[in-house]
Structure 1
Amino acid sequence: MAAEEENVSQRLDKWLWAARFFKTRPLAVEAIDGGHVRVNDERVKPSRTVRPGDKLRIKKGFETWVVTVLGVNDYRRPAAEARLLYEESEHEREQREAVIEERRLHGVNIAVKKPDKRERRMIDKFKQGWES
């Protein structure tokens, strides 16, 4: 981690990217501008600096992360190293996982997509059987 004396803060969008919450910085900026990221329960701008000890609430899809910043890193490192940049309380993690499990059990995460060519032909064949 590059959390030296002179580098104890970092832009929020860059921190979210380095901590691997978002794949790119523009996606992080879009989430921040959309109000999906809060620092210490305040709506902020992407240029807001985060320091160790700040509490972040990150809504990403149906998941909500509540984490405490432990450090900063200028570079996007492997996931194992990125997890060292933040800490999620046990209660918040269990709550997030319970929501994921509930959605999985109710079949909410089933991807909806248009049928491909083969599937359309099967649907048409099925429909023709009912018309006869």
Structure 2
Amino acid sequence: MAEKEKLRIDKYLWAIRAFKTRTLAADACKAGRVKLNGTNIKPSHEVRIGEVYQVSKGIDRKVIKVVGLLENRVDAKKAVDFYEDITPVEQTQAFKSMFHAPMLSRDRGAGRPTKKDRREIDDLKDDFFDKDE
């Protein structure tokens, strides 16, 4: 595809599909959610091959290494060729395990939990969160 020597970080993040729009990518840079070597960068920062960026998007955190420069947005299969996801495994697993928390539900109209119910709920929560540590 078209490669360029100078490319803005907001345009690059949009092209590799890290953000849905270029405006969202620029806003993330302005808010300090895109970092290079631990320092915040502006949306106009020039991307260079080999640089490593930390991108935070909600609770999702990724570490991306630039492999190639991509000027225009392409489909996801081609976009993967222009960056390398080097996010540590423990960060990835921590993100996934957040969605496997026990879902406690009570019947509608059951009223407030009794003291016994509260103890059982607390025991369930404590047992689940102690296993991860």
Runs of 4+ deviating beyond 4 Å: none
Task: Identify the residue that residue 70 of structure 2 maps to in structure 1.
Answer: 73
Unaligned stretches of 5+ residues in structure 1: 109-125
Unaligned stretches of 5+ residues in structure 2: 112-133
Task: Identify the residue that residue 2 of structure 2 maps to in structure 1.
Answer: 2
Q: What is the DSSP-based 3-state SS (H/G/I as helix, E as strand, rest coil) of the residue aligned with 1:76?
A: coil
* TM-score normalized with structure 1 length: 0.72
Greater shift in the superposed pair: 70-79 or 95-104: 95-104
Give, in whole Å, the separation in 2 of the partners of 1:54 and 1:82.
Answer: 17
* Partner residue of 2:97 out of 89, 92, 102: 102
Task: Identify the residue that residue 8 of structure 2 maps to in structure 1.
Answer: 11
* TM-score normalized with structure 2 length: 0.72
Q: What is the DSSP-based 3-state SS (H/G/I as helix, E as strand, rest coil) of the residue aligned with 2:62?
A: strand
Give, in whole Å, the separation in 2 of the partners of 1:12 and 1:62.
Answer: 21
- Between the aligned residues of both structures, percent identity stands at 33
Q: Kindly state the Cα deviation for residue 106 of structure 1 after the two structures are TM-superposed.
A: 1.5
Give, in whole Å, the separation in 2 of the partners of 1:38 and 1:24.
Answer: 19
Aligned AA for 1:10? L
